Structure 1
Amino acid sequence: MPGAMYQAGQMSAIRALRVAQVVAACVIQLGAAVDGAEYWVAVDGDDRQSGRSREEAWASPSRGQPTRLSAGYRSGETALQVASTEGFLDAGVVIVNGHQRAYERVTDDTIQLTQPFDFDVPVNTTVWDGTILDGRSFAPGDVINLAAGVFVDRSLRVEQPGQPGQPVTYRCLAGQDAVLVPARFNQPGIRVGVSGGGRTAHIVLIGLTVRNQREGNHGAPGIDLVHVGDVQVRDCDVATSGRDINGDNHAIRMVDAERVRVVGCRLRSQYATGLMAWGTRDVHIQHTLVYESFQGIVAGGGRYRSDLAIRNCTVYGTNQHGGIKSESPSRVTVHNSLIVQMPSLQEGALAGSGSGDHNWLWHTACRYGGSWNANRSAGAGPHDRYEDPRFLSLDPRSPVFLRFAADDPAASAGTEGSYVGAYAPVERPRALTASRINVIDFGARGDGLHDDTAAILQALAVVKPGGTLFFPPTGQHYLISQTIALNRSDVRVLGRGATLKLQPATGRIHLLAIGGAGPARSIVENVVIEGLTLDANYHSQPQQPNGGIPRGIWVENAHRIRIQDVTIRDAYCGLSFATHTRNVEAINVTVTDWDHDAFGASGWGGNGSCTDVRFLRCRAMNTSRCVKAWEIEEGAQRVELEDCLIENIGGTGTGFYVRHHEYRCPLLVDEVRFSRCIVRNISGAGFLIATVPGDVLRPQIRTRNVRLLECVSDAPVTIAYGVEGVLLQDCRFTAATGIGCEGRDANPASRGPKWPVRSLTIQGGTFGKLMVNMEMGNASGRLDDKRYQNYLPQVTLRGLPVGTPIEIKGAAVRVVRE
């Protein structure tokens, strides 16, 4: 199967580790012995076989399950309208109310009879498969084993119940991967139960994997539990990525479900919720991970009240909405859980009519929302913590994915000194070491004449984890003709005094690219680039915009990356940290002679998907034409710049630029700090701090908590467009500084309600001129908008030198001066 859909083999080691952990921690006890008969399903099976052994396996996971009438049947008709025909043969025998009839063909929802029944049948009546299991389906205690393989367009549909103490069990054996991949619109991976009729009860799902990329209309979740009771879902791995116009492609959806246990699962829903519950009772979710989803866990409200008890779960990386939410009148309790990377202001990390304690929240733009822990101050549980959990890995392939070491604080932050989160702590892995591989030994010449690409790639291929790819200096440059992709973890590239140069007329491509295939597939970790000079040779490349936006170094889907003592020259863009990039740093990096931007940290429309970024002693200098030097934008958060320099740049020539493009989804740039950063001799604004600049209105986009500490600029500074929580401390801005207006603007209040800041403090420093717009603002650009409230700028001027020229437009009396 194509790797884009599923990377076979990457999960076996992870699942084996998780199975052992979950079995030890799980409060649900399942006997190892099989009480009933045992059956097999395999990709290479045949539905006409007995199913009683691996050699006689069926092909359809739904083989042996009955279906139900989706519409009433009238005597004499030759077509049965049914909920599904999955698991039925192309031609065979059906049984309805004890009467048999042959059928000659099936469609997805129709069984065409060779002879009609002579009686009416109401909707939701069970239709049995008369070709198998004596026409009665599985008995209580039966176990159906799904052999390893990828079941494309073969979903699992379960309607036949077990009984107390003897569930009907579907399982994949430990260490194997049985992967269900739907291929049709509105097709779930696994569906247990059906609306109407009797409740499907006493079902167990163990160790199954679902990868559902199909679009749907309320009907394409990974696992769908509808009108069920006494269901256990254990150690299942579910990811949905198909779009749904109703947002219902959840990893697990429960509707009218009672006494359900979800334990040891791994859930992801790209466009919906990891676990969504409507009208549920007595549902427990334990030792389960929800990651990289649109939303984490939600208990729906209104007439669909749900009760969820969540314990020892991890919700990570829900970049548009919140972590765990309880809609009134539902009730959710959460204990000993990790809620990490919830960078949106739209929802609280823990929100609604729920409660809990001993939870660990980190990188949450809004910790609590609604009436969470209603009787406590600000929603916090008495023992909640707010620190970095120090995950050992963010790579979903790693056996220590989202786990922490036994000596980290999270290992004892739970109830009675237990750990928090889905996974038990582990011993800290040892640092990897391996030999250094010299590219010269593989045929690279570094003479500036011969293409060294093949030799470099051959050398890179043999670098072991912990090893080094070494470029010795040659006095010339290594000529390359394609992007050098670093898509493996634990690699160092060392080349002090060495230069890599892109061959002329190669195309608009990156010179170096670091990263994995995405947050649900692979994240590259622990990569170091040190000492190289990278000549992107941009002005000798085709200038038509084919091949995207080329960078000297492009970093995406990466964690713990260090770029140090590197020079990038003649590039369209220099160094860019992009989506799903976390804990990365650039140290002593210089970019010269670029066209667009020298440095960037961008979430590309994903809140917090580019976070914990550090630029230390970096320089953007000496270009005659560029758009800007630095950009921090589009959901980037927790970005630090220390002792960075911008000097001698022309063109539009903006210096440090904090902003968003015109996305329609809610976005937040948050926690950006400039320390001792300097701007000299540039043609544009020195600092431009904004939400969405220009005339386009995006009220749902925010920029906040930007700190400029001891910064220097001889170019104008603009801070406007509704930004909030801005601090200028001991800065020296010798040109005009505009607060709520453009730094060059002679009439600060002329631009309309979009321009004023929400809140800003200036503490000390010197300014050539301060212009402050104190007129009322509104993010919609229209005062008294019905949806977005007006706001009054809150500006505090503290400790400014006497005689500082200040021009205030609007209500000057509201400016606080200290």
Structure 2
Amino acid sequence: MLGAGAALGTAVAAMAACGAAPGPPEADDDLPRPSGTPTTRGTVHDVRVAGARGDGVTDDAAAFTRALAAAAPGDTVFVPAGTYHLVPERPLRLPAGVMLAGVPGRSVLRMTPRGVAAIEVSGADAALDGLELARAGDVETVLLRVGRVDRLTLSRLVFSGATDTYDAFCHGIQLGVAGDTSTDLTLRDSLFHRLTYGLYQANDSPAVTVGVDVSGCTFARNANTDLEFNSPSGSFRDVRVTGCTFRDNDSPGFAVGVAYCARVEVRGNRMTNYRMEALHVEDWSSDVTIEGNTMTACGLTEFAFVQLIQGVTRIVVRGNVFDATANTEPIAVVHALAGGRGLSAGGRPVVPPTAVTVTGNEFRCSEAVRAVSFEGVSGGSVTGNRVSGLAAQDAVEVTGSTGITVASNAVG
């Protein structure tokens, strides 16, 4: 690790000497970027006043550290428009109650941290707004690590990981770092681009996260799952994902992964071009509603558009549009089954789903797919759906299941 840090410092110094900004392009031109006027509150601490240059070459980490240390709860640390090169020895720490804010679309933090993360936040009522957080070197990192928080607001941000350029992983947001209970995380109007995971909580974290609201965000070309609400040693409760766009993910991951969760709503999103499932729900998750989404060309290689496995219960799939006309592999668009391949991800024997409702959806199918498949499911229904592109005998399959109602589906 020390050798890698020394090599990184030498490379950064060489780039600074020739006047070149480190790192890859900031974002793909076809992706939406946040905009609007800056937001501040309380006393404003300007990082330029603290000594930041914002020229994209000079290491401004020390100036950011000074500005953050000077801020009190209710204050703002403001980042004027510019490109700020940051090589922090340890993560920059956003104090409780402080807002770190910039000019949306114009304040760029290009970071090559030498520690495990670029920025860390904990405590109550902190916020980040109007910044681009971009990895600018081949270092393993998390752009934002979240400890125990209450009422954390993340808005108009860009998380850029350059996983297509660098070999090392780069995650956008890591939750549950402190292993405690956090409440009320709001994430809105932000872009997650070419990361490994967009948002995740580590498998060994015992943290409980209650109240996550993700809205109006775009997730594009990430190298694994965009939103991973999965924590075998902890849990998530009261999760809402609404009005987001998920696209172009050729990875062994999902748009939204749900495990060990209770009370989840995924509504009004658009999901396009996924190698595997757009939505994956497993491991005793309960009371999950998947409603009003449009999913196109998902499950292109295997599995499903929506896959429900391993003891999940009270799952409602309602009022969605599934366009599988481009699919050539023999998948089921909505697939509920006792488990995946052998044991569950947690290493326990497979357990069938219960109380699964699939109703009022539109399925546009190629001949290769099946609209709905229930295998070993206990209790539920497949009713009131419209299916095109398939014969009636190929639309719905119910095998090894009990207590399932199949009725009033229009197939033709």
TM-score normalised per structure 2 = 0.72
Distance 1:773-1:533 versus aligned 2 partners, 3 A rule: same
Q: Give the aligned partner of residue 215 of structure 2.
A: 616
Does the CA contact (< 8 Å) of 1:433 and 1:465 recur in 2? no
Q: Any idea what SS the aligned residue of 1:606 has? A: coil
Which residue, 434, 451, 471 being the options, matches 2:42? 434
Q: Give the aligned partner of residue 444 of structure 1.
A: 52
1:417-451 per-position Cα deviation (integer Å, ceiling 9, x unaligned): xxxxxxxxxxxxxxx96310111111110112211
1:167-221 per-position Cα deviation (integer Å, ceiling 9, x unaligned): xxxxxxxxxxxxxxxxxxxxxxxxxxxxxxxxxxxxxxxxxxxxxxxxxxxxxxx
1:584 aligns with 2:181: no
Does the CA contact (< 8 Å) of 1:739 and 1:757 recur in 2? no
CA–CA distance in 1 between the matches of 2:267 and 2:148?
27
Which residue, 201, 218, 230 being the options, matches 1:633? 230
Q: CA deviation at 1:602?
A: 6.7
Which residue, 399, 409, 412 being the options, matches 1:809? 399
CA–CA distance in 2 between the matches of 1:458 and 1:508?
18
1:86-115 per-position Cα deviation (integer Å, ceiling 9, x unaligned): xxxxxxxxxxxxxxxxxxxxxxxxxxxxxx
Q: Give the aligned partner of residue 108 of structure 2.
A: 499
1:456 aligns with 2:55: no
Does the CA contact (< 8 Å) of 2:55 and 2:84 recur in 1? yes
- Count of aligned residue pairs for this structure pair: 324
1:352-408 per-position Cα deviation (integer Å, ceiling 9, x unaligned): xxxxxxxxxxxxxxxxxxxxxxxxxxxxxxxxxxxxxxxxxxxxxxxxxxxxxxxxx
CA–CA distance in 2 between the matches of 1:605 and 1:576?
11
Q: Any idea what SS the aligned residue of 1:440 has? A: coil
Does the CA contact (< 8 Å) of 1:724 and 1:757 recur in 2? yes
Q: CA deviation at 1:734?
A: 2.7
Letter in 1 for 2:337: C
Q: Any idea what SS the aligned residue of 2:323 has? A: strand
Matches within 5 A, 1:27-66: none
Which structure features the higher share of strand residues?
2
1:761 aligns with 2:396: no
Does the CA contact (< 8 Å) of 2:226 and 2:254 recur in 1? yes
Q: Give the aligned partner of residue 473 of structure 1.
A: 81
CA–CA distance in 1 between the matches of 2:115 and 2:371?
43
Q: CA deviation at 1:813?
A: 7.0
Does the CA contact (< 8 Å) of 1:555 and 1:581 recur in 2? no
CA–CA distance in 2 between the matches of 1:673 and 1:433?
32
1:799 aligns with 2:396: no
Q: Any idea what SS the aligned residue of 1:628 has? A: coil
RMSD: 2.7
Q: CA deviation at 1:508?
A: 5.4
CA–CA distance in 2 between the matches of 1:535 and 1:575?
12
Q: CA deviation at 1:601?
A: 5.5
Q: Give the aligned partner of residue 156 of structure 2.
A: 565
Q: Give the aligned partner of residue 16 of structure 2.
A: none
Q: Among the aligned pairs, what percent are the same residue? A: 18
Which residue, 97, 107, 128 being the options, matches 1:490? 97
Q: CA deviation at 1:629?
A: 1.5
Distance 1:813-1:616 versus aligned 2 partners, 3 A rule: closer
CA–CA distance in 2 between the matches of 1:679 and 1:771?
18
1:619-640 per-position Cα deviation (integer Å, ceiling 9, x unaligned): 11024xx122111112111111
Q: Give the aligned partner of residue 35 of structure 2.
A: none
1:224-248 per-position Cα deviation (integer Å, ceiling 9, x unaligned): xxxxxxxxxxxxxxxxxxxxxxxxx
Matches within 5 A, 1:399-798: 434-474=42-82, 476-496=83-103, 497-503=106-112, 506-507=113-114, 509-515=116-122, 524-537=123-136, 540-541=138-139, 550-570=141-161, 572-578=170-176, 579=179, 580-595=181-196, 597-600=197-200, 605-606=205-206, 609-623=208-222, 626-634=223-231, 635-659=235-259, 668-691=260-283, 702-714=284-296, 715=298, 716=304, 717-735=306-324, 736-741=332-337, 754=350, 756-767=352-363, 768=365, 769-775=370-376, 793-798=378-383
Compare relative contact order (CA 8 Å, sep 6+) and give the higher one, 1 or 2. Answer: 2
CA–CA distance in 2 between the matches of 1:622 and 1:811?
37
Q: Give the aligned partner of residue 12 of structure 1.
A: none
- Unaligned segments of structure 1, at least 5 residues: 1-431, 516-523, 544-549, 660-667, 692-701, 746-751, 776-791
Q: Any idea what SS the aligned residue of 1:461 has? A: helix
CA–CA distance in 2 between the matches of 1:753 and 1:472?
54
1:266-294 per-position Cα deviation (integer Å, ceiling 9, x unaligned): xxxxxxxxxxxxxxxxxxxxxxxxxxxxx
Tell which structure's C-alpha radius of gyration is larger: 1
Distance 1:817-1:478 versus aligned 2 partners, 3 A rule: same
Distance 1:743-1:709 versus aligned 2 partners, 3 A rule: farther
Letter in 2 for 1:447: D
- Unaligned segments of structure 2, at least 5 residues: 1-39, 163-169, 299-303, 325-331, 342-347
Distance 1:481-1:557 versus aligned 2 partners, 3 A rule: same
Distance 1:605-1:647 versus aligned 2 partners, 3 A rule: same
Q: Which 4+ residue blocks in structure 1 deviate beyond 4 angstroms?
A: 601-605, 742-745
Q: Any idea what SS the aligned residue of 2:386 has? A: coil
CA–CA distance in 2 between the matches of 1:584 and 1:643?
17
1:481-500 per-position Cα deviation (integer Å, ceiling 9, x unaligned): 24444352221111111111
CA–CA distance in 1 between the matches of 2:227 and 2:276?
12
Distance 1:811-1:555 versus aligned 2 partners, 3 A rule: closer
